[in-house]
Structure 1
Amino acid sequence: MMRFIQNHVSLSVRAGLALFGAVLLWSSSFIALKIAVSAFDPMVMVFGRMLSSLVALMLLRVTVWRRAEAPMLLDRRVTRREWKYIVLLALCEPCFYFVFEGYAMIYTTASQAGMVVAALPLAVVVAAWLLLGERPHRRVWIGFVLAVVGVVWLSAGSEATESAPNPIFGNFLEVLAMLCGALYVVCAKQLSSRCSPVLITTMQSLIGLLFFLCLLPLPAVKLPDSFPLLPTLAILYLGVGVTMLSFLLYNFAVRSVPASRTGAFLNLVPVLTLFMGMVFLDERLTAGQWAASALVFGGVILSQWKTAQSEEKADSSATASLSEGAE
């Protein structure tokens, strides 16, 4: 099956499908998180998520990948600079990202958290400007301001409910998680052309497991005395499906998919999360929250529209140049 796909499906199509699969899994993660934290402490939940992810990765390595003659986990010597990026990447996500997001899901709804994360592509642009010296277009800054206003409006218009007792605080924690995610994307882009997706994903899970293992003895962490079926299955889904599979898919796709197209796919996360929140958790947004969500989404689209156009023109120019050279 794998050889058929490799021989008959182009790399760009495979990368696009992989990216869509990662987005679908990330969208569903908010639903699974909400179910998991209903019975477990966020730190216990994330530890279980990291453990199941790492076990699944090792099983895949021993069985499927060995038979498929996949590249070794360490197929070459990793440089000290690459290890620094790997550690920083893992500290951003899963470590601090999951700390903020785990507690955010106690205080806000999955739908609102998904809309906050909609601004992630803009945060990535700002992080690239600060860390890599990339200069974003004025349109990006206008979109960024619109998205920030939308997030503030969304949070201010939220009312406390039994499932979301403090949505303003929860959305603030989700913003912090989003900033960690933006730094993760920048680090992943630096590593994607040098290290295999298997290595990056495995080290993320291993460092995350050790990080949350150190947090479990803290007095503030409530250890479980029972394991309800649905929340336990949600943790396993988060570990195997979301943490392991989505990161493998994303790290594979980011090698071949342009940055603007990656951002366009990420825009699907809040839309899919809203839909799943309505279907599985019976969540609803008020008219004002819908307007705020539209402002966030509009700001993101505005910021990326010109970038996507420029990239398409650049790709067309490059193709034309290659054709002329061949003639």
Structure 2
Amino acid sequence: MLTKHSSLLPQLSLCAAMTLWASSFVAMKFAIVAFSPMLVVFCRMAIASLVLLTQWRRIEIKKIPREHWKTFAFLVLCEPCLLFIFEAHALKYTSASQAGMICSIVPIFVAVGSYLLYREKQPKIVWAGFITAIGGVALLSMKSIATDSAPNPLLGNFFEMMAMLSATGYILTAKRLCASYSAFTLTALQAWIGTIFFFPILLLSGETIPANVQPDAVLAILYLGTAVSFGAYLFYNYGLRHVPAAQASAYGNLIPVIAIGLGHVVLSESLTLLQYAACILVLAGVWMSQRRSSREIFENSSVETPLIPAHEEQ
């Protein structure tokens, strides 16, 4: 029974990570009502950094070779740095439901990125799924109506697309690092370097804390810094260490479903019938991109990805 339960831990960890990430869209909407996006991002990273200091004994920074720091730097640049910047601005202009739906295209971006970077052959259905999903995102954005919670959904959805490109870079890089480093080490470096990255940007922006602080916004930032920036990344990095990258990214399909549900229940958001049709188009594209034979999945999951890219070894 122990072995059976242990084998489920990576899957449960990935499910937990997706649930927390889906809820982050709602929490971010609460936070940016009272605070600027950059202030929210910095506080989120700073809180996560403080939480991770309590686990410093489990972090293996001293064991990281100097030649691996470039890989870590790119990982952190993609996520949290670029992803949080794009996502914070995205949720300033679009709804949590639409942002969550756009998240579902990450598996397709990962497949395309694997082809471009590592020349991993992708079947034609993956490319068909890519075109279908992108078309769905375009339809979702073009048919969006400006509301109080989504004043410029087209711009917001563009920022969210850029955030998902950053997430793709993170996934492709993290898979290579997870074979050598613990989830605590990866999560800690993301939080600490992210805090250092955002601090001077915050100072240069001249952002200040509002005089009237809303309790809901403060609680949202605390939730983002602990449950999401700490808990979700810890769960995801653990799952990614035991599950193939393509399979792990497929769990991202849970995010739009949960995000739309939370957006409706918590924020009273709603989509038009045409937007729901666009959502179905996006999910259909993702489903198409993941239809591979069991042999292909086995072969892809059996190949160990080197820590250093091939062009650096030559």
TM-score, length basis structure 2: 0.91
Q: Residue 184 of structure 1 corresponds to which residue in structure 2? A: 170
> Could you report, residue by residue, the CA deviation over 1:87-129 in whole angstroms, capped at 9, with x for unpaired residues?
1111110001000000110100000001111101101111111
Q: Specify which of 80, 86, 95 is matched with residue 94 of structure 1.
A: 80
Query: Which residue in 2 is equivalent to 1:144?
Result: 130
Provide the C-alpha distance between the structure 2 equivalents of 1:155 and 1:286, rounded to a whole number of angstroms.
Answer: 12
Asked if 1 retains the 8 angstrom alpha-carbon contact of 2:110 and 2:246, the reply is: no
| Alpha-carbon distance in structure 2 between the residues aligned to 1:35 and 1:263 | 27
Gaps of 5+ in 1: 67-71, 316-327
Residue 222 (structure 1) shift: 5.0
Match of 1:318 in 2: none
1:22 is matched with which residue?
17
Q: Distance in 2 between matches of 1:75 and 1:175?
A: 32
| Aligned CA distance change for structure 1 residues 118 and 208 (closer, same or farther; 3 Å) | same
Q: Distance in 2 between matches of 1:13 and 1:75?
A: 29
Deviation, 1:225, is: 3.0
Match of 1:218 among 204, 207, 217: 204
SS class of match (1:217): helix
Q: Radius of gyration: which is bigger?
A: 1
Contact kept, 8 Å, 2:44 with 2:221, in 1: the verdict is: yes
SS at match of 2:211: coil
Q: Aligned match of 2:260 in 274, 280, 283?
A: 274
**2-side partners of 1:185 and 1:81: how far apart?**
20
Partner Cα separation in structure 2 for residue 232 and residue 172 of structure 1: 27
Spell out, residue by residue over 1:190-240, the C-alpha distance to the aligned partner (whole angstroms, 9 max, x if none): 101011111110010011101110111234645433431111110110110
> How many residue pairs end up in the alignment?
302
Per-residue CA deviation, residues 11-42 of structure 1 (Å, 9 max, x unaligned), is: 42111111111011011011101111111000
1:53 to 1:302, Cα distance in 2 relative to 1, 3 A: same
Per-residue deviation, 1:83? 1.4
Q: How far apart in 1 are the matches of 2:46 and 2:141?
A: 33
Contact 1:31-1:281 within 8 A present in 2 as well: yes
Q: CA deviation at 1:58?
A: 1.1
- For residue 43 of structure 1, the aligned residue among 26, 38, 47 is 38
Selected match of 2:99 from 113, 116, 139 = 113
Q: 1:260 touches 1:307 (CA, 8 Å); kept in 2?
A: no
CA-atom RMSD in angstroms: 2.0
1:233 aligns with 2:228: no
Write the letter of the residue equivalent to 1:193.
Answer: A
Alpha carbons of structure 1 residues 222 and 297: separation in structure 2 relative to 1, 3 Å: farther
Q: Does 1:202 align with 2:184?
A: no
2:124 is the alignment partner of 1:129: no
| Distance (whole Å) between structure 1 residues aligned to residue 300 and residue 199 of structure 2 | 47
Structure 2 gaps, min length 5: 302-314
Q: C-alpha displacement at 1:255, in angstroms?
A: 1.4
Task: Establish whether residue 160 from structure 1 lines up as the match of residue 146 from structure 2.
Answer: yes
1:147-204 deviation per Cα after TM superposition (whole angstroms, max 9, x unaligned)? 0000000000001111111000000000000000000000101101011111110010
Residues 178 and 240 of structure 2 are in contact (CA less than 8 Å); yes or no, is this contact kept in structure 1? yes
The partner residue of 1:283 within 269, 294, 299 is 269
8 A Cα contact 2:61 2:185, kept in partner: no
For 1:83, the equivalent position in structure 2 comes to: 69
Question: Measured at CA, do residues 10 and 314 of structure 1 come closer, stay the same or move farther in structure 2, by a change above 3 Å?
Answer: farther
Give the distance between the partners of 1:129 and 1:313, measured in 2 at CA: 15
2:143 maps to amino acid: G
User: What percentage of residue pairs aligned between the two structures are identical?
Assistant: 41
Moved over 6 A (4+): none
Contact 1:39 1:228 in 2 (8 A): yes
Partner amino acid, structure 1, of 2:286? V
